[in-house]
Amino acid sequence: GDFPIETDTIVIGAGPGGYVAAIRAAQLGQKVTIVEKGSLGGVCLNVGCIPSKALIAASHRYETALNSEDVGIKAEKVTVDFSKVQEWKAGVVKKLTGGVEGLLKGNKVDIVQGEAYFVDENSLKVMDENSSQTYTFKNAIIATGSRPIELPTFKYSKRVLDSTGALNLDEIPGKLVVIGGGYVGTELGTAYANLGSEVTILEGADDILSGFEKQMTALVKRNLKKKKVEIVTKAMAKGVEETENGVTVKFEAKGEEKTVEADYVLVTVGRKPNTDELGLEQIGVKMTDRGVIEIDKQCRTNVTNIFAIGDIVPGPPLAHKASYEGKIAAEVISGQPSEIDYLGIPAVVFSEPELATVGYTEKQAKDEGLDIDAAKFPFAANGRALSLNNTDGFVKLVTRKEDGLVIGAQIAGANASDMISELGLAIEAGMTVEDIAMTIHAHPTLGEITMEAAEVALGTPIHIV
Ligand code: FAD
């Protein structure tokens, strides 16, 4: 018999949204059950953020080893053992997913393997192979994430890859075509180009990395060009034919039908929410046509005891956004008055150079009618950047004209991914450019670029005229 198991809060999906929500809810005294049909850590730890950054890091080491003659280092016979790279990457993932399991257990969260399906507003069934178990709950947090969109003309196969396939190749492609120049396509395209693949990126829009400013993407494109990556914009991918040892990709650009041959084609044209097989219609949870769940500022759906977080709700599909929402939902369920405020959510591309943004861009601020200033300082005028041989890029601060309040920042350059946190903090804390300029930054560091950008805003930079 299926005797229902009672719990306070049930979390569906153990990605960066779900596992963080479960831990926070447990910390706040809830009896928590988390259901996962795949692997703990979700997309991010298993087939997303972490393995992609590991592959990028390995590829960067190789590329740097080959190309350091300008600093007087010449390495001979640098080789890649790709199966070793993959093994190392798998080890990183395993360490982290094992860590998540330990953290959940340490917080007394009950981990259940299987696929959850809602029966009604207070119960769901978990199916695993041939067993089924009912759970009753007071509150539920849905954190089921997203999956790659499959184009009907590009059915995934051994050579037509989604991001997971591209991360888990057992060889470095001689030639790789990437369809979609978003951050995933750009990051993985860069990684394989570093490892020696000949890469072509086909992008439907008029530029790659849409959403980032042209002055930022221009730097990335210049580097991709150096790596001999071909970027075709306004390209409509039409279809693919698999040959014995590769693929022929058909596309249209500038009104012409073209083909390109490759060993593999990676298709990254967006993701869709995993909300179609959960029984949500049954309990009346409101969704858009695309299956995105609507939530209020407390991550609550239209059904009062059901919450939703991460890739299945509106906003940028990013791990740190999922985790942030997870904490909010757990706190709200535990009776705290928490609310989401997305202004301080950064977005990063791990390209070369890295791109990062937080808060308003100049354009967004102007479009909203805000009276703003923008101040920029280049990496090339910073001692640390020079001594790292990484002089590409800038820090830009977007500030409110009347008082210099920092409302946004964009960084292109080495370690932009880490540097953006200072500016997220500035926004969260309501700091002005004067606060940043008065903060003593260690010398020589890339952080001084941020300090100097603040001094540019004040009209008194030291290292630029
Ligand atoms: P997910 O991580 O997708 O987790 C959802 C979990 O729910 C899955 O484990 C799934 O198995 C489980 N599940 C689904 N349905 C059920 C069910 N019915 N029952 C039980 N379990 C279920 N983001 C960043 O911020 N930085 C990056 O650098 C970055 N790099 C990325 C690189 C790649 C290649 C990809 C694909 C994504 C990347 N992302 C990155 C995005 C990031 O991975 C996602 O935004 C994040 O994983 C979303 O978290 P989530 O908790 O909403 O869902």
Tokens 């977005």 label which residue? 347
2 pLDDT tier (thresholds 50, 70, 90): confident
ipTM of this predicted structure:
0.99
Ligand 1 contact, 165 CB (< 6 A) = no
pTM of the model: 0.97
Best residue among 144, 190, 272 to mutate for probing ligand 1's pocket (most ligand atoms within 8 Å of CB) is: 144
The pLDDT score that the predictor gives to residue 130 is 84
Ligand 1 contact, 455 CB (< 6 A) = no
Q: Dump pLDDT digits (tens) for 85-134.
A: 999 999 999 999 999 999 999 999 999 999 999 999 999 999 998 899 99
Per DSSP, the residues of 451-463 read HHHHHHHHT--SS
Ligand 1 center to 17 CA (angstroms): 8
Average pLDDT over residues 208-215: 95
d(CA 219, CA 307): 41
d(CA 118, CA 139): 12
Q: Dump pLDDT digits (tens) for 147-181.
A: 999 999 999 999 999 999 999 999 999 999 999 99
**Rounded (to 5) percent helix, strand, coil in the chain:** 35, 25, 40
* Average pLDDT score over the chain: 97
DSSP reduced 3-state for 447: helix
Average pLDDT over residues 385-414: 98
Give me the active site residues, please. Answer: 443
Ligand 1 center to 227 CA (angstroms): 30
Tell me the Cα Rg of the chain: 24
Which residue's CA lies nearest to atom 46 of ligand 1?
319
Tokens encoding 93: 């993932």
